DNA sequence: CTATCCACCTGGCGGC
DNA sequence: TGCCGCCAGGTGGATA
């Protein structure tokens, strides 16, 4: 499910409800997610106060007052992190719940169990395997045209593949790579090292604009994504190419959107707007 | 070291 | 209605 905008939407939605709240208890229904939930999770965070929620790439990090550990949550493909009330129903595949006093419950649900809930020492965060090799976040200044051009110049793989590589840029996934390439009029098949500096600059603008618009729309809901309040995101209605195979291109009005596999992932594009010269 | 492939898991959908 | 194959917002371990 969740790429950068969906994770950021969850962070923004959760923050006002949970920051400053004490976790009165934690219930773990099953621990075998992508990585086992550490047996010490409950002991580590029960009766502690949530101080802040941060996002790094597609991970959410929960800082707690006083606690020298940071809690890490990843939503995988199908994970949801939502605020509930005790009287609400809890769907199948709800694996972890955090009671925040007697009126609010933070709930983690993940049918496919590709996500994870874990923690690490604060001082080890930057060296954690999840974060050590991550590229820059596209919404920060470190992500510049000169930086990206340099990274791409060493790669022969298609630009589509490079943009999905979290070591090149952190937070993009299949949807937003397709959408950003379309906005830039760059073919997903163009070898990374052949993308010109001008195109890289345009690509950065496209990535930033599509991500910001998606965050403003509450993310994209295909099947699983919900905002923290349980509502659907609505950026999927703004897709120009993703999941639009066979539809007339909204830009050129000449050709229909094509679907091909690139490095194992469905890749949607307009063969006219994004033609290789 | 880099580049591909594929498994991990469940559920939804289309076709027959 | 039912069964089957295919597909899905991600990641990293195995392999060449």
Q: What is the pLDDT of residue A116?
A: 97
Nucleotides of C under 7 A from a protein CB: 7-12
Give yes or no for CB of A222 within 7 Å of strand C: yes
pLDDT tops 80 at residue A94: yes
**Mean pLDDT over the full length of chain A:** 95
Q: What is the pLDDT of residue A232?
A: 87
Gap between the Cα atoms of A76 and A74, Å rounded: 6
Q: Which residue has the higher pLDDT, A213 or A263?
A: A213
Q: What is the pLDDT of residue A231?
A: 85
Write down which residues 81-120 in A have CB closer than 7 A to strand C: 112, 114
- A48: burial class by Cβ within 10 Å (0-12, 13-18, 19+)? middle
Cα dihedral sign, A32-A35-A36-A41: negative
Q: How confident is the model at residue A223 (pLDDT cuts 50, 70, 90)?
A: confident
pLDDT tops 70 at residue A1: no
pLDDT tops 80 at residue A277: no
Mark residue A272 as left, alpha or beta (left: phi above 0; alpha: psi -120 to 50; beta: remaining): alpha
| For residues A240-249, average pLDDT | 95
Q: How many CB atoms lie within 10 A of CB A224?
A: 18
| For residues A42-54, average pLDDT | 98
pLDDT tops 90 at residue A227: no
A50 near A11, Cβ under 8 Å?
no
In Å, how far are A178, A238, A266 from A256, measured between CA atoms?
A: 15, 17, 16
SS3 of residue A270 by DSSP? strand
Question: What does residue A42 show for φ and ψ, rounded to 5 degrees?
Answer: -60, -50
Q: List pLDDT tens digits, range A100-145.
A: 999 999 999 999 999 999 999 999 999 999 999 999 999 999 899 9
pLDDT tops 70 at residue A160: yes
Q: What is the pLDDT of residue A230?
A: 81
Nucleotide nearest to A162 (CA to C1'): B3
Nucleotide nearest to A221 (CA to C1'): C9
- How do A94-100 and A104-109 pair as beta strands? antiparallel
pTM of the model: 0.97
Give yes or no for CB of A47 within 7 Å of strand B: no
Q: List pLDDT tens digits, range A4-46.
A: 999 999 999 999 999 999 999 999 999 999 999 999 999 999 9
| For residues A85-105, average pLDDT | 96
| For residues A82-88, average pLDDT | 96
Residues of A that are catalytic? 2-3, 58, 265
């Amino acid at each position: 499910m969740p790429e950068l905008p969906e994770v950021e939407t969850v962070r923004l939605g959760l923050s006002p409800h949970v920051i400053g709240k004490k976790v009165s208890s934690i219930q773990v229904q099953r621990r075998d997610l992508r990585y086992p939930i550490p047996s010490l999770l409950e002991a580590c965070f029960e009766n502690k106060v949530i101080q802040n929620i941060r996002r790094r790439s597609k991970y959410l990090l929960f800082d707690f007052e006083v606690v020298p550990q940071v809690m890490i949550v990843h939503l995988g493909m199908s994970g949801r992190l939502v605020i509930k009330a005790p009287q609400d129903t809890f769907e199948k595949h709800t694996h972890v719940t955090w009671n925040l006093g007697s009126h609010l419950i933070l709930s983690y649900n993940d049918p496919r169990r590709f996500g994870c809930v874990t923690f690490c020492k604060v001082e080890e965060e930057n060296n954690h395997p999840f974060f050590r090799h991550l590229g820059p976040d596209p919404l920060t200044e470190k992500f510049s045209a000169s930086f990206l051009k340099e990274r791409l110049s060493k790669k022969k793989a298609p630009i589509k593949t490079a943009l999905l590589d979290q070591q090149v840029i952190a937070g993009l996934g299949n949807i937003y790579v397709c959408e950003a390439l379309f906005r830039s009029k760059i073919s997903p098949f163009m070898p990374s090292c052949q993308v010109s500096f001008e195109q890289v600059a345009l690509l950065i603008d496209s990535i930033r604009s599509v991500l910001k618009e998606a965050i403003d729309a509450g993310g994209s809901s295909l099947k699983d994504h919900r905002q923290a309040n349980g509502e659907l995101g609505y950026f999927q209605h703004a897709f120009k190419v993703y999941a639009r195979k066979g539809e007339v291109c909204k830009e050129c009005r000449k050709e229909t959107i094509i679907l091909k596999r690139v490095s194992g992932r469905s890749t949607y594009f307009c063969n006219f707007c994004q033609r290789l010269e």
